Amino acid sequence: MRARLPVLLPLPLAAGAYDYRVPAGLAVAPGDVVRVPLGGREVLGVAWDGQADPDLAEGKLRDIRAVVSTTPLPANLRRFVEWVAAYTLSPPGAVLRMAISAPSAFDPAPTRIGWQRSASNGPKLTEARRKVLEALPPGAVLSTGELAAAAGVSAGVVRGMADAGLLQPAIIQAGNAFPRPDPEHPGPTLGAEQTAASLALREAAAERRFNVTLLTGVTGSGKTEVYLDAVAECLRRGRQALVLLPEIALSAQWLERFRARFGVDPALWHSELGSKTRANTWRAVAAGEVEVLVGARSALFLPFPDLGLIIVDEEHETAFKQEDGVVYHARDMAVVRARLEEAACVLVSATPSLETLTNAQSGRYRHLHLAERHGSAGMPRIELLDLRATPPERGRFLSPPLVEAVQATLARGEQAMLFLNRRGYAPLTLCRACGHRLRCPNCTAWLVEHRAQRRLQCHHCGHAEPIPTNCPECHAPGTLVPVGPGVERVVEEATALFPDARRIVMASDTLPGPAAARAAAAAISAREVDLIIGTQIVAKGWHFPHLTLVGVVDADLGLAGGDLRAAERTLQVLHQVSGRAGRAETPGRVLLQSFSPEHPVMQALLSGDLDSFLRAEAAGRRPGHWPPFGRLVALVVSSEEERAAERIARDLGLAAPRVEGVEVLGPAPAPLALLRGRHRRRLLLKARREVKVQEVVREWLARVAVPHNVRVQVDVDPVSFL
Ligand code: ADP
Ligand code: ZN
């Protein structure tokens, strides 16, 4: 046993692991969760691999106080923590914190005391006491309440028997709270195309070697059914499976499908779990008792001892990118974890990201494709409504052809959906007299009117204020007017146009939490609703069989702002929302309102030829070495003091690396130049694919001293450019 060991603390310390002494009599191995002193406190840490510094004076070392967990952090997870830290340029301790994000998992498990039969069996038993013994088989241990309920007697009877020595106290062993999903539970009969894909995925899951498969297919083609077969295969092999979903709160229908396929619920992991459930789940994952876990991106850092399969559903979703703390992309890190685990990874999407598609085309990933919708459902018919030719009435947002189509759909007793990716009533409030626009005091952003709550809100920092009656600038009364539509305004218009339709609004502020989303989905499936009006929530993987018309109020919305992936993302969300239409026998129809119907995104949606669109995107990015044909690292410099942010951004600009194949753009004020009261400047490093950007950036940052009031956030492979 070594006398000193490095211990990694779950804190954002740049130095990495600290050395501690292993006191005599304490057995500590790498991976053990330990308690160590730090300053005047005691903190949790993980005994790490590698050598402690032998030259460190004995007097500088402090003792490891205790080992607190019996299940060590698996070696693969330790390697993963190191890998993610190195790739994202984050302190390893900050990554470790995500891996032990259930601190109460290391508290001693509470012991529950119950009763078992004792040897002494008094001769004369009352009827009630006899029933208690009958309810307690030899060897079983039941709590007072359980035993009383099983015997149909009061708790007092049980306690009396204990006092009389007829029952003996014993520890109740915690059962496994995570029932086994049954891989042989019958699933649906797959079609020919689905069967072929299922077979290939099951083979991939059975390989016990690292492999990545991209599973594409139109919305409703059965991708979920197919990858659940891979989960079943993984279970047969006795390994654990992880399914990452972009928004677990919106996954009620997915969970129902899982239950139907495997007979039980999967274990869940997301930020809204209570601390007790978190602790139990963490422990059960570490003990190998959880066989399938479904979670948000943070589930990637759970201590699976034998992970055999990772599914990333809707792999193109930006929700997989974590933007604060450790900035990482869960889809990319899922591939890394699968490699370290010798596991299979399946990336699933109807509209894959150009990154993933490029990897499939170069042969790094396998590619399976489902070309047809399951059963008799065909793809919906997509039509463009040119808002220049058929504009809505003044002050309205639904054009006459869209209004007619909704009316006809409702008249047939079918469901219609209106989609606008913007919360609130109006994105901008303006003074008609002086032109003043109401903006957030903390952010470079307009305040969004939320009429139902009679408030103006900032969607970036949460700032809210009442709607003023006078213009704050020129003080004219009653001159403030809403400009542009938010989803609430579409609801208002729809209420006037279709007064008899039963409406539901699906937006993150009207459906807070999983229960509300589940109830909404159930009401829609049960045809208690005629018209669905919603923001991007409605574009998720819902299956609403009676929905036949989807109207997109502003198809151009995502195209503004020169984001590298604006067109790609607009295509993804519009394709997803279109895919909600006509999923059963009745054919679906999609109407896209646009001012630029000639735009390649609209044309790709119209023709259904997404491949050509992505090929054109690739051709546009390749020459300039934009991702995925080159690498980007963004630096965001921020401070409450504008001059400090400005100065450090300039220093970083002056110290920019002069390396072959590397170019630095900026510094420039970020589009969100002010966010939550912090002034922000951006620099963007663009490099050829073969450049080791982490090394370049590490050396770059080392050349600039950053004062305490300035933060420099590093974002490797940025998704957001705000
Ligand atoms: P995707 O994930 O490609 O959008 P899903 O797996 O959600 O497609 O399938 C769409 C719908 O069709 C779901 O309700 C699913 O249960 C059903 N489905 C798909 N394949 C089959 C099949 N082979 N047999 C019965 N139902 C199926
Ligand atoms: Zn704000």
Instruction: Read off the tokens for 666.
Output: 């900026």
Per-residue model confidence (pLDDT) at position 109: 66
Q: What is the DSSP string of 258-308?
A: HHHHHSSPPEEE-TTS-HHHHHHHHHHHHTT---EEEE-GGGGGS--SSEE
Whether residue 582 has pLDDT greater than 80: yes
- Per-residue pLDDT at 719: 94
pLDDT above 60 (res 1): no
Cβ atoms of residues 490 and 421 within 8 Å:
no
Where residue 122 falls among pLDDT bands split at 50, 70, 90?
low
Q: Is the pLDDT of residue 514 over 90?
A: no
Over residues 158-169, mean pLDDT: 89
How far, in Å, CA of 416 to CA of 399, rounded? 15
**pLDDT number for residue 631:** 97
> Ligand 1: distance of its center to the CA of 377 in Å?
11
Helix (H) or strand (E) holding 338: helix 330-341
Question: Quick one: CA torsion of 563, 569, 573, 578, rounded to 10 degrees?
Answer: 120
* Cα 439 to ligand 2 centroid, rounded to whole Å: 8
pLDDT by residue (tens digit) across 286-322? 999 999 999 999 999 999 999 999 999 999 999 999 9
Read off the tokens for 144.
Answer: 């007072």
**What is the structure's pLDDT at 54?**
85
Q: What pLDDT digit, counting tens, does each position of 353-396 carry? A: 999 999 999 999 999 999 988 887 788 999 999 999 999 999 99
Model pLDDT for residues 14-61, shown as the tens digit of each residue: 888 999 999 999 999 999 999 999 999 999 999 999 988 888 888 889
The distance from CA 333 to its chain's CA centroid, rounded to whole angstroms, is 13
Average of per-residue pLDDT values in the chain:
93
Please enumerate in sequence order all residues whose Cβ is within 8 A of that of 23, keeping only pairs 6 or more positions apart, or say none. Answer: 63, 64
**Distance, CA of 393 to CA of 400 (rounded, Å):** 8
The residue nearest atom 17 of ligand 1, judged by CA position, is 222
Q: Phi-psi region for residue 273, left (φ > 0), alpha (ψ -120 to 50) or beta? A: beta
Closest ligand 1 atom to the C-alpha of 219? 4
| Helices 75-88 and 92-99, axial angle in degrees (round to 10) | 130
**Predicted local confidence at residue 94, as pLDDT:** 97
What is the rounded distance in angstroms from the CA atom of residue 460 to the CA atom of residue 713?
Answer: 18
Look at residue 113 and tell me whether its pLDDT is greater than 90.
no
Q: Give CA–CA dist 263/179, Å, rounded.
A: 9
Which phi and psi (to 5°) does residue 29 adopt? -125, 155
Q: Give me the phi and psi of 215, to 5 degrees please.
A: -110, 110
Sign of CA dihedral 575, 578, 582, 583: positive
- Minimum-distance ligand 1 atom for the alpha carbon of 579: 4
State which residues have CB under 5 angstroms from ligand 2, the bound ion.
440, 442-443, 458, 460-461, 463
Q: Name which residue sits closest to atom 11 of ligand 1, judged by CA.
A: 220
The secondary structure of 477-533, three-state, reads ECCEEEECCCHHHHHHHHHHHCCCCCEEEECCCCCCCHHHHHHHHHHHHCCCCCEEE
Closest by CA position to 482, among listed 422, 444, 431: 431
What's the Rg (C-alpha) of the chain? 29
Q: In the Cβ-directed half-sphere of 201, how many Cα atoms lie within 13 Å?
A: 33
Read off the pLDDT of residues 630-675 as tens digits, 9 standing for 90 and up. 999 999 999 999 999 999 999 999 999 999 999 999 999 999 999 9
Ligand 2 centroid to Cα of residue 443, in Å, is: 4
CA-to-CA distance for 239 and 227, rounded, in angstroms?
16
Identify the residue whose tokens are 């139907």: 260
- Closest CA to ligand 1's atom 25: 188
- Spell out the residues 6+ positions from residue 707 whose beta carbon is closer than 8 angstroms to its own: 644, 648
Nearest in space to 66 (alpha carbons), one of 104, 98, 109, 25: 25
Tell me the sheet residues that pair with 211.
344
3-state secondary structure of 23: coil
Residue type for 46, please?
A: V
Nearest CA to ligand 1 atom 23: 190
pLDDT score for 700: 98
pLDDT of residue 176: 64
What are the tokens at 199? 């077979």
Q: Does position 74 have pLDDT exceeding 70, yes or no?
A: yes
110 pLDDT tier (thresholds 50, 70, 90): low
| Ligand 1 proximity of 582 Cβ (cutoff 6 Å) | no
Evaluate: CB of 188 within 6 angstroms of ligand 1.
Answer: yes
**Could you give the percent of the chain with pLDDT greater than 70?**
98
Q: DSSP secondary structure string, 626-654?
A: -TTSEEEEEEEEEESSHHHHHHHHHHHHH
Phi, psi angle pair for 333, to nearest 5°: -70, -25
Question: pLDDT category, 156, cuts 50, 70, 90?
Answer: very high
CA of 677 to the centre of ligand 2 (A): 8
- DSSP-derived secondary structure letter, 437: B
The predicted pLDDT at position 2 comes to: 62
Q: How many C-alpha atoms does 690 have within 13 Å on its Cβ side?
A: 3
User: How far away, in angstroms, is 257 Cα from ligand 1 center?
Assistant: 9
- Lowest-pLDDT range, 1-10, 257-266, 407-416, 594-603? 1-10
What's the whole-model pTM score? 0.90
pLDDT at 484 over 60: yes
When pLDDT is cut at 50, 70 and 90, the band that residue 102 belongs to is confident
Residues 261 and 230: their CA atoms lie apart, in Å, by: 12
Mean local confidence (pLDDT), 329-358: 97
Residue 175 has pLDDT above 70, yes or no: no
Q: Give the separation between CA 266 and CA 252, rounded to whole angstroms.
A: 12
Which of 190, 225, 243, 259 for a ligand 1 pocket mutation test, highest count of atoms within 8 Å of Cβ?
225
CA pair distance 346, 212, nearest whole angstrom: 6
Q: What is the pLDDT of residue 220?
A: 86
* CA 606 to each of CA 569, 597, 600: distance values in angstroms, whole numbers, following the listed order: 16, 9, 10
pLDDT at residue number 21: 94
Best residue among 374, 544, 575 to mutate for probing ligand 1, ranked by most atoms within 8 Å of CB: 374
The residues, any chain, with a CB within 8 Å of residue 4's CB and separated by 6 or more, are 19, 20, 21, 22, 52, 54, 56, 61
519-536 pLDDT, tens digit per residue, is: 999 999 999 999 999 999
pLDDT at position 141 is 87
**Cα(471) to centroid of ligand 2, in Å?**
19
| Ligand 2 center from residue 562 Cα (angstroms) | 22
Cα separation, 597 vs 581, in Å, equals 21
C-beta of residue 449 within 8 angstroms of C-beta of residue 486: yes
